[in-house]
Amino acid sequence: MATAVKRKFSQSTNGRGIKVVATATAGTAIHTVVAGTTDGTYDEIWLWAYNSDTVDRLLTIEFGGTTAPDDHVKVTIQAQAGWVLVLPGLILQNGLGVAAFASAANVVAVQGFINAITD
């Protein structure tokens, strides 16, 4: 039977949000997923973003790599609209990384958790 353990992002301090500083690839590091390729062993990633700026900002999540469009998830985060779901429980493994860059530095923060899943 599969088990899941909720954990913070590997780059989060005490479970706090991560400010997106990068404005181009390679993005601000968010999380490095579980090592290995064992079937049934994944990190399930839940990520929200908040834009504190007074204008909308484009956020690009680099999901497992930096190749566009294969590894990119692009979402426009409205100004001061609260937390917006960006990654709805997508899975990743093999020590790959999740990173982010935005159209302006230091105005978008990301928050969330992973469910570490094992069979």
Q: For residue 50, which of 16, 24, 27 has the smallest C-alpha distance?
A: 16
54-88 pLDDT, tens digit per residue, is: 999 999 999 999 999 999 999 999 999 999 999 99
pLDDT(2) > 90: no
Compute the distance between CA of residue 24 and CA of residue 110 in angstroms, rounded to an integer: 16
Burial class (CB in 10 A: 0-12, 13-18, 19+), 82: exposed
Question: Which domains are seen in the chain, by residue range?
Answer: 3-118 (2.60.120)
Q: Is the dihedral of CA 81, 72, 88, 23 positive or negative?
A: negative
Q: Concatenate the DSSP letters of all residues of 14-39 into one string.
A: TT--EEE--SSSS-EEEEEPPSS--T
| Single-letter code of the amino acid located at 45 | I
Model confidence pLDDT, tens digit, residues 13-63: 999 999 999 999 999 999 999 998 888 899 999 999 999 999 999 999 999
